[in-house]
């Protein structure tokens, strides 16, 4: 009987010891999670303040603490992309996809990196996957439209920009790029309408004034074209100044 009581006591002591070890491990894990989250918040703050190198260092620490934190890979990749390091940015997005193949943000970002590396066909495949995962992902339609534009699929591009606008009616870049595609198709009247909306949403968009001026010039409306080109120059777009010197003397 004494032996049985001794065994029972030892079993309780062992159970308490294991419970303590488990608790300590959980606390360590929670501490790591907290540290990782703090570094992630710091990195996002630096990213928003355009300190991309500082943001990358913070995201490095997050990944060191938690190698499966997909958001950290996506954020670090985005910071590298803003530094025009698209090759290494792509590696981060691919790692995020490897960890979670259903992450539409990672597919979208991967598509953008490939677009900037002039691999538009592969970019479209990534945008397709992002859209498959989220049919209302407006940025994926926008990115796919830009890739189609580069591949000279103007009609397909216009369809994607239109879809972007259906989802996000105030997305200035969608109107701008759709207007550009229409300009390439010599549909200047509709292109001007898109540039008008771009300027209404974003009055400081120098490129929109330039492109609208270009469309007007191609329609033979030189005076109005010059007004738009001058406005574009005032907003800092040097290409408009070059156009004025060559064509609007």
Q: Which domain holds residue 238?
A: 171-249
The total number of structural domains in the chain stands at: 1
Structural domain includes residue 53: no
Q: Is 172 exposed, middle or buried (0-12, 13-18, 19+ CB in 10 A)?
A: middle
* Alpha helix positions (H), 135-236: 138-150, 154-167, 172-184, 188-201, 206-218, 222-234
Structural domain includes residue 197: yes
Structural domain includes residue 132: no
Task: Give the whole-angstrom CA distance, residue 103 versus residue 71.
Answer: 9
Domain of residue 178, CATH code = 1.25.40.10
Tens of pLDDT along the chain (249 residues)? Answer: 444 444 455 555 555 555 555 444 433 433 445 588 999 999 999 999 999 999 999 999 999 999 999 999 999 999 999 999 999 999 999 999 999 999 999 999 999 999 999 999 999 999 999 999 999 999 999 999 999 999 999 999 999 999 999 999 999 999 999 999 999 999 999 999 999 999 999 999 999 999 999 999 999 999 999 999 999 999 999 999 999 998 876
Reported pTM? 0.84
Structural domain includes residue 246: yes
DSSP code per residue over 82-105: HTT-HHHHHHHHHHHHHH-TT-HH
Structural domain includes residue 234: yes
């Amino acid at each position: 009987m004494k032996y049985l009581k001794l065994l029972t006591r030892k079993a309780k002591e062992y159970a308490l010891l294991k419970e303590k070890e488990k608790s300590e491990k959980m606390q360590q894990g929670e501490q790591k999670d907290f540290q990782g989250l703090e570094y992630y918040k710091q990195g996002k703050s630096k990213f928003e303040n355009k300190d991309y190198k500082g943001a990358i260092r913070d995201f490095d620490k997050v990944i060191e603490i938690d190698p499966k934190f997909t958001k950290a890979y996506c954020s670090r990749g985005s910071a590298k992309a803003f530094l025009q390091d698209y090759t290494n940015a792509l590696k981060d997005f691919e790692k995020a996809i490897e960890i979670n193949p259903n992450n539409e943000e990672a597919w979208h970002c991967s598509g953008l990196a490939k677009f900037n590396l002039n691999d538009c066909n592969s970019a479209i495949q990534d945008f397709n996957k992002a859209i498959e995962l989220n049919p209302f992902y407006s940025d994926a339609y926008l990115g796919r439209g830009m890739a189609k534009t580069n591949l000279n699929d103007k009609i397909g591009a216009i369809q994607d920009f239109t879809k972007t606008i259906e989802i996000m009616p105030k997305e200035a870049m969608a109107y701008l790029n759709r207007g550009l595609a229409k300009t390439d198709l010599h549909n200047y009247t509709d292109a001007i309408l898109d540039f008008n909306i771009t300027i209404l949403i974003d009055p400081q968009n120098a490129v929109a004034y330039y492109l609208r001026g270009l469309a007007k010039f191609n329609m033979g409306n030189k005076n109005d074209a010059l007004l738009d080109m001058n406005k574009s120059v005032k907003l800092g777009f040097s290409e408009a100044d070059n156009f004025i010197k060559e064509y609007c003397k």
